[in-house]
């Protein structure tokens, strides 16, 4: 049960503008990236993501917290995209998430050897971004700030209005969650990685 | 202090994320446009939520009042009134008070909470005018005069004669379809449900989605939440069973225009007159006799034969008529 997300849904429906804006700032960029992985037309991404968020607003009263808010939003977005492709009589492109794509990521995590060419492959990159976006609230952002932007723990703590210790703890939990999320994408490969 | 293993993991994650690079952010102009559109929807939804809460409060008072009335009614022995009646033969239609013990419908009252099961198709009309046609092999519960719970099978609804703006809902175990003045079919099967709209619009929702389905659309939603939309013409064969299960329609003393409009609605076609002369002629023509046991389509030529109006060739989705009298 995703109680925090359920509380968020209730606050949104109560009419709290600040909560609505935080919700938008948090989920719009993530849904945009979700759309980027599946569509190649910027205006179509805008339409799909806008429809998704508008439908989410209309259905917020039915959200029961059984899935995380982002998973729920992605399900709506996926339906929007599928319906778009059906309307134009084309099959939605398959989103690659096969073993060949995941293996380099796992290998990268298992060893220090560079796999630049594979990691730079756009599809793999998109998959890692998707993992970051699917992490619980703040985890993906903290990892991005720390390891992509190179912010210090002190700076992250300040941005998230946390103590330095709490920010360190958050980063540790975020790393564990990131690793776990990557592992869960392919349990079989993970098992092979552990036994090799 | 971090453990050595954690360091290694952190370094690997760090390397990987640096290679991934900064995450894309949506362009500012797109963000502004989407924010404005979503905010508008959100504000409308918040307003409606507040109204709903007010209505619930008002309904609460109404329930208390109704309870007092019901208490008095029970004391005086007045029965729970029927909310609907059968328009067609009761043969092959079964009734249950609890959904487990079934008896032939015959003259059992269709009260709120009662159950129906069909071996033959049936037409049921609610007291407020909504007509429901239940296909064969269907079971459902009449929740109240604004909701039916479809257990299994197929139901067609026509809210044309429903005078109120009160939405009518068909709930299934997968989700709910709410009509907004329309003709539509809901089917509930083992692993999926579908809503097919002939006219108007239906609001389809479950815990993962909320979508408006428009005329000509059919949406099928699996139990895992995958949705597929297809086009279904208002005169498609899939509507035929509903036409064949129509409630009685008396033509005696009715003018031809009124009858033709009914045929058009029953068959999902548009009605067009070849000119004002034809329309005037049709409005002045009064009909006699009966079209019992004929579908709307079957009755058309039969009825027109007794008039000076004839069918002329037109597009498939149109009933086009022309007078034979020259003015």
Q: What is the pLDDT of residues B255-268, one digit of tens each?
A: 999 999 999 999 99
Domain boundary among B236, B258, B292: B236
pLDDT-based confidence at B70, cuts 50/70/90? low
User: Please, are residues B82 and B110 in contact by the beta-carbon 8 Å criterion?
Assistant: yes
Q: Is the pLDDT of residue B80 over 60?
A: yes
Task: Please tell me the distance from the alpha carbon of residue B151 to that of residue B175, in angstroms, as a whole number.
Answer: 11
Nearest chain A residue to B5 by CA distance is: A110
The verdict on B165 and B289 lying in the same domain is no
Is residue B298 included in any domain, yes or no? yes
Domain of B204, CATH number, reads 2.60.120.1440
Provide φ and ψ at B143, rounded to 5°. -70, -55
Beta strand B84-86 with B201-205 is unpaired
pLDDT in the model for residue B140: 95
Number of structural domains (chain B) is: 3
> Closest Cα partner for B18 from B30, B10, B29, B7?
B10
Beta strand B131-134 with B147-158 is antiparallel
Is residue B128 included in any domain, yes or no? yes
Is residue B206 included in any domain, yes or no? yes
Nearest chain B residue to A118 by CA distance is: B19
Q: Is the pLDDT of residue B8 over 50?
A: no
Chosen from B36, B56, B203, B209 to mutate, greatest number of chain A CBs within 10 A: B209
Query: How far, CA to CA in Å, does B243 sit from each of A80, B264, B296?
Result: 33, 11, 7
Q: Is the pLDDT of residue B153 over 50?
A: yes
Q: Which domain holds residue B292?
A: 249-323
Provide, rounded to the nearest whole percent, the portion of chain A with pLDDT above 90: 34
Q: Is the pLDDT of residue A37 over 90?
A: no
pLDDT in the model for residue A84: 83
Strand partners, B237: none
The verdict on B220 and B281 lying in the same domain is no
pLDDT-based confidence at B159, cuts 50/70/90? confident
Domain boundary among B196, B215, B236: B236
pLDDT in the model for residue B2: 38
pLDDT-based confidence at A62, cuts 50/70/90? confident
pLDDT in the model for residue A189: 32
For residues B65-83, give the mean pLDDT.
63
Candidates B20, B27, B227; nearest CB to A128:
B20
> Closest Cα partner for B161 from B304, B298, B261, B239?
B261
* Chain B positions in Cβ-Cβ contact with residue A111 (cut-off 8 Å): 12
DSSP letter, residue A147: I
CA distance A72 to chain B (A): 6
Q: Is the pLDDT of residue A23 over 90?
A: yes
Q: Quick check: helix, strand or coil at residue B131?
A: strand
Helix (H) or strand (E) holding A114: none
Alpha helices by DSSP H, listed for chain A, are 3-13, 17-36, 42-59, 69-87, 99-110, 116-119, 122-134, 139-143, 153-159, 164-185, 187-195
For residues A70-92, give the mean pLDDT.
79
The verdict on B34 and B178 lying in the same domain is no
Higher pLDDT residue, B160 or B12? B12
pLDDT in the model for residue A192: 33
**Is B34 within 8 Å of chain A by CB?**
yes
Domain of B290, CATH number, reads 3.55.50
Query: Half-sphere exposure of B187 toward its Cβ, with a 13 Å CA cutoff?
Result: 18
User: Please, are residues B313 and B278 in contact by the beta-carbon 8 Å criterion?
Assistant: no
The verdict on B275 and B228 lying in the same domain is no
Q: Given the structure tokens 């918040």, which residue do they identify? A: B46
Nearest chain B residue to A130 by CA distance is: B23
pLDDT in the model for residue B66: 59
**Is B49 within 8 Å of chain A by CB?**
yes
Q: Is the pLDDT of residue A179 over 70?
A: yes
Domain boundary among B41, B58, B77: B77
The verdict on B118 and B37 lying in the same domain is no
Provide φ and ψ at B262, rounded to 5°. -65, -45
Q: Is the pLDDT of residue A7 over 50?
A: yes
Q: With an 8 Å Cβ cutoff, are B45 and A60 in contact? A: yes
Nearest chain B residue to A26 by CA distance is: B25
Task: Please tell me the distance from the alpha carbon of residue A24 to that of residue B206, in angstroms, as a whole number.
Answer: 23
A68, burial (CB in 10 Å: exposed 0-12, middle 13-18, buried 19+)? middle
Q: Among residues 200-239 of chain B, which lie with CB inside 8 Å of chain A?
A: 205-211, 225-230
| Count of positions (residues) in chain B | 327
The verdict on B96 and B217 lying in the same domain is yes
Is residue B56 included in any domain, yes or no? yes
Is residue B4 included in any domain, yes or no? no
For residues A74-83, give the mean pLDDT.
85
Is residue B264 included in any domain, yes or no? yes
Q: Is the pLDDT of residue A184 over 80?
A: no
The verdict on B120 and B198 lying in the same domain is yes
Alpha helices by DSSP H, listed for B25-175, are 28-75
Task: Please tell me the distance from the alpha carbon of residue A86 to that of residue B228, in angstroms, as a whole number.
Answer: 7
pLDDT in the model for residue B21: 87
* Chain A positions in Cβ-Cβ contact with residue B34 (cut-off 8 Å): 28, 46, 49-50, 53
The verdict on B73 and B86 lying in the same domain is no
The verdict on B164 and B206 lying in the same domain is yes
The verdict on B213 and B293 lying in the same domain is no
Provide, rounded to the nearest whole percent, the portion of chain B with pLDDT above 90: 35
Is residue B230 included in any domain, yes or no? yes
For residues B151-179, give the mean pLDDT.
83
When the pLDDT of each residue in chain B is averaged and rounded to a whole number, the result is: 84
Residues 6+ apart with CB under 8 A from A104: A115, A118, A119, A121, A124
The verdict on B281 and B177 lying in the same domain is no
When the pLDDT of each residue in chain A is averaged and rounded to a whole number, the result is: 79
CA distance B182 to chain A (A): 21
pLDDT in the model for residue A108: 54
Intra-chain end-to-end CA distance of chain A, in Å:
36
For residues A14-36, give the mean pLDDT.
93
Is residue B16 included in any domain, yes or no? no
The verdict on B225 and B303 lying in the same domain is no
């Amino acid at each position: 049960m995703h109680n925090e997300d359920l509380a968020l849904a209730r606050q949104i429906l109560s009419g709290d503008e600040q909560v609505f804006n935080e919700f938008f700032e948090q989920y719009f960029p993530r849904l945009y990236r979700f759309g980027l992985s599946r569509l190649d037309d910027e205006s179509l991404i805008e339409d799909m993501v806008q429809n998704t968020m508008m439908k989410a607003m209309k259905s917020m009263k039915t959200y029961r917290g059984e899935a995380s808010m982002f998973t729920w939003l992605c399900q709506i977005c996926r339906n929007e995209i599928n319906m778009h492709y059906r309307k134009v009589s084309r099959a939605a492109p398959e989103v690659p998430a096969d073993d060949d794509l995941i293996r380099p990521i796992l290998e990268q995590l298992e060893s220090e050897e560079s796999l630049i060419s594979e990691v730079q492959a756009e599809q793999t990159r998109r998959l890692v971004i998707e993992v970051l976006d699917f992490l619980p609230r703040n985890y993906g952002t903290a990892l991005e700030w720390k390891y992509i932007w190179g912010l210090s723990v002190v700076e992250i703590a300040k941005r998230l209005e946390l103590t330095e210790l709490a920010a360190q703890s958050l980063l540790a939990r975020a790393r564990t969650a990131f690793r776990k999320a990557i592992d869960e994408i392919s349990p079989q490969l993970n098992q092979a990685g552990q036994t090799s | 202090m971090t453990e050595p293993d954690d360091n290694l993991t952190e370094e690997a994650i760090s390397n990987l994320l640096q290679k991934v690079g900064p995450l894309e952010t949506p362009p500012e102009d797109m963000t502004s446009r989407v924010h404005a559109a979503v905010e508008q929807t959100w504000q409308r939804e918040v307003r409606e939520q507040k109204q709903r809460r007010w209505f619930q409060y008002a309904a609460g008072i109404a329930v208390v009042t109704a309870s007092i009335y019901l208490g008095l009614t029970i004391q005086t022995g007045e029965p729970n009134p029927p909310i609907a009646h059968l328009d067609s033969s009761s043969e092959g239609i079964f009734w249950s008070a609890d959904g487990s013990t079934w008896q032939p419908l015959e003259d059992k009252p269709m009260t709120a909470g009662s159950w129906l099961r069909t071996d033959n198709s049936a037409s049921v009309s609610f007291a407020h005018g909504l007509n429901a046609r239940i296909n064969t092999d269907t079971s459902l519960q009449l929740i109240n005069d604004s909701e039916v719970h479809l257990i299994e099978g197929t139901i067609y609804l026509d809210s044309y004669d429903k005078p109120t703006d009160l939405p009518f809902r068909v709930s299934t175990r997968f989700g709910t379809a709410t009509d907004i003045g329309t003709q539509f079919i809901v089917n509930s099967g083992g692993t999926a449900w579908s809503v097919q709209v002939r006219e108007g619009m239906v609001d389809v929702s479950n815990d993962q989605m909320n979508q408006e389905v428009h005329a000509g659309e059919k949406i099928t939603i699996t139990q895992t939440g995958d949705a597929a939309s297809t086009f279904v013409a208002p005169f498609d064969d899939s509507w035929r069973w509903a036409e064949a299960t129509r409630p009685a329609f008396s033509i005696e003393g009715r003018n031809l225009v009124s009858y033709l409009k009914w045929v058009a609605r029953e068959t999902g076609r548009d009605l067009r007159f070849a000119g004002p002369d034809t329309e005037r002629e049709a409005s002045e023509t009064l009909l006699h006799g009966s079209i019992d046991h004929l579908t709307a389509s079957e009755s058309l030529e039969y009825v027109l034969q007794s008039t000076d109006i004839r069918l002329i060739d037109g597009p498939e989705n149109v009933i086009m008529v022309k007078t034979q009298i020259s003015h």
